[in-house]
Structure 1
Amino acid sequence: MAAVDSFQFLYREISRSCGSYFETLALVGALYTASRAVILLSDCCTLVRVHFLPRMVPSRKLTQRYGDWAVIYGASEPVASAYAEELARHGISIIFVTQDNTSVRDTAASLSQIYGVETSVVIADFSQVQAASKPIKEALRGKDIGFLVNCVDGTLASPQSLIEMPEQCLLDQVNKNVTVATLMTRLVLPGMVERSRGAVVNISSSACCRPLRGRVALTAFTGYLDNFSRALHLEYSDKGIFIQSLIPFQIASSGRQPSSSSLSPREGWFVPKPEVYARHAISTLGISNRTTGYWPHTLQYGMVRCIPEWIWILGSRMCFSAA
């Protein structure tokens, strides 16, 4: 009995001495919970502001806000082709810049016939930068260029180790996804700055958010495009130029124009058709300079952001080993 009384007495003494610590820990926990709640509320407000309000509130025509012409680089990718079609649906004339005119010419003719806009295709050999710049400058001369859309090469989505990539293939990918995107921006920006309006949209991938095993090149190139866009926004936003980095998650292949990627994700709520994605993405123009462009993808991005990097890397290794 004495032992029990002694224990109760000891417990009361310890509780009395530690009471202030418990209160402090409770306060810290409450503050942390409140901060997470504020962040969640802020993210929800941003989701509504970026993805829902622009689609409900009428705005000025894209031609009035940015210009009459758009330059599209990477239109062989379904998402870029769909983006071009959505611009054409808004009355924007299109200039396609490509190294391979086979599929792009068909796309250009189709847009011109369906939407009644002007289209042209510029063939440029980007292995020789000076020679490639000349026809592009000629095509841009005298036109009110309001949009530039650069799209990362979809073939990079296929898992491949860096040392498995042939050297020439790697150099071609660097040229296509880094050099050309930068050059196209350099060619288009002066006219936009002169007119104090325009939009540059760089479509990369969510791979820029977290490293992906077996996709070193994709992670690197999309990371470049994303940071390139953010730096441009910092430098040119006060000159009336809107720079946007689109970082979509998976997008289904178009039935009309199969993706160059060997991966063909099944269409669904989180894997939209290119046309659906483009419609949502264009509604975010002028609203957010860095976005997934599609609100279910924004939910995915929020979940990915909550995962600690060490857990992400561990899970990536386990999935890669299982595959």
Structure 2
Amino acid sequence: MDSAAPAAGFLYWVGASTVAYLALRLSYSLFSAFRIWGMAHETEVGPALGEWAVITGSTDGIGKSYAEELAKRGMKIVLISRSQEKLKEVANEIREKFKVETKTIAVDFGSVDIYNKIRTDLAGLQIGVLVNNVGMSYAYPEYFLDVPDLDNIINKLINVNIISVCKMTQLVLPGMVERSKGAILNISSASGMHPVPLLCVYSATKAFVDFFSRCLYAEYRSKGVFVQSVLPFFVATKLAKIRRPTIDKPSSKTFVKSAIKTVGLQHRTNGYPVHALMGWIFSVMPSWLSLKVSMSLNKGLRARHLKKSKKT
């Protein structure tokens, strides 16, 4: 019996330490959540950082909502997207509603020979905020080898989701560093927090955006530039193919209004209280379980898409 006492004591302290660690982690998470979501505060995202805000993928969804929110704060807006017609429409809306100057650049981020044009069009502008929002995903969840037009999809996902973030940052960051102020907001995805089967290339590209942002934050925060990785779950947008907002799938306007308040407070954020809770749940979930949940969800979405396709 005496020989069992040391082992029992060891197990007791292991258990007590584990409980204490989990309690401290939960307390810290609750405190952080209250500080960010429960306390009234306003970020200094606006003309004080620089006159102009540049937003990619800005004619719809999250990108358009960031453009409107920044214009509301008095910033001049550069809209970059593929369709000149849509760009002109959104630019006119913002100019008339918020009484700020706007500029448009029509380019296809699926190509890699566009950045000299963007550099020329941005020359001379004092850019305070860059929102790297442009992105693309699969048409529907699918096994890697069965993704339609796989070669083209691989190239486009890398060009749009990865190359654009690096190249736009390369164009804008030097001016921010020179003035010792600025903010770069990189729109990643909750799919970049953990591997997501049946969206493997998309998930991997968004993980790159998250890691790239975290590295940049560490490199440039001492130089006055705040870099943020934004990791939303589902938002009611055309890209997500969700029409009606719900409490866990907010409209892009609701999401951005919430997310922009985290600038300066969180360099890595889910951007929205319910999404933050979902992110915390996934963070404490065993990796095998999160993979199983994601696989099950996407198998269901895949089956529904294929069934619908057969009917049409």
The correspondence for 2:274, drawn from 272, 296, 311, is 296
> How many angstroms apart in 2 are the aligned matches of 1:312 and 1:151?
26
Question: In the alignment, residue 41 of structure 1 is paired with which amino acid?
Answer: S
**Equivalent position SS for 1:185:** helix
Q: Which runs of 5+ in 2 are unaligned?
A: 304-312
Query: Are the counterparts in 2 of residues 77 and 153 from structure 1 also a CA contact under 8 Å?
Result: no
Instruction: Report what 1:71 is aligned to.
Output: 54
Any gaps of 5 or more consecutive residues in structure 1? Answer: 1-13, 254-258
* Alignment-derived partner of residue 33 in structure 1: 19
1:164-179 correspondence to structure 2 within 5 Å: 164-166=147-149, 167-179=151-163
Aligned mates of 1:317, 1:142 — CA distance in 2 = 48
Counterpart check, 1:97 vs 2:80: yes
CA distance in 2, matches of 1:58, 1:177: 30
Match of 1:113 among 88, 96, 100: 96
Task: Give 2:135's aligned residue.
Answer: 153
Q: Does 1:260 align with 2:239?
A: yes
- 1:7 aligns with none
In the superposition, relative to structure 1, how do residues 59 and 321 fare at CA in structure 2: closer, same or farther (>3 Å)?
closer
Deviation at 1:97, TM superposition (A): 1.5
The CA deviation at 1:320 is: 4.7
Amino acid at match of 2:130: L
CA distance in 1: counterparts of 2:297 and 2:72, whole angstroms: 41
1:205-216 to structure 2, matched below 5 A, reads: 205-216=189-200
Distance 1:265 1:126, change over 3 A: closer
Equivalent residue pairs, number: 299
Q: What per-residue deviation string (whole Å, max 9, x for no partner) do you get for residues 157-193 of structure 1?
A: 7313332241123212221111122111111111111
Query: For 2:157, what is the secondary structure of its paired residue?
Result: helix
Give the 3-state SS of the residue equivalent to 2:138 in structure 1: helix
2:166 partner letter: T
| 2:28 paired with 1:46 | no
Contact 1:152 1:222 in 2 (8 A): no
Give the partner amino acid of 1:84: A
Report the secondary structure of 1:245's partner residue.
Answer: strand
Distance 2:155 2:42 in 1: 45
Distance in 1 separating the partners of 2:186 and 2:72: 20
SS in structure 2 at match of 1:33: helix
Alignment of 1:296-315 (within 5 A): 296-315=274-293
Contact kept, 8 Å, 2:65 with 2:253, in 1: the verdict is yes
Structure 1's 232 and 29: CA in aligned 2 closer, same or farther, altered over 3 A? same
**Which sits farther off after the overlay, 120-129 or 297-306?**
120-129
| Code of the aligned partner of 2:76 | S
CA distance in 1, matches of 2:298, 2:141: 10
The residue that corresponds to 1:24 in the other structure is: 10
- Please, what TM-score do these two structures have when normalized by structure 2? 0.88
Whole-Å separation in 2 of the counterparts to 1:114 and 1:320? 40
* Residues 1:127 and 1:223: Cα distance change in structure 2 (over 3 Å): closer
How many angstroms apart in 2 are the aligned matches of 1:265 and 1:23? 57
Task: Check conservation: 1:77, 1:151, Cα contact below 8 A.
Answer: no
Q: CA RMSD in A?
A: 2.1
Partner SS state of residue 283, structure 1 = helix
Please report the TM-score for the alignment, with normalisation by the length of structure 1: 0.85
Contact 1:77 1:260 in 2 (8 A): no
Residue 228 of structure 2 aligns with which residue? 244
| Identity between Structure 1 and Structure 2 (%) | 31
Report the residue type matching 1:150 in the other structure.
Answer: N
- Which residues of 2 match residues 196-207 of structure 1 at below 5 A? 196-207=180-191
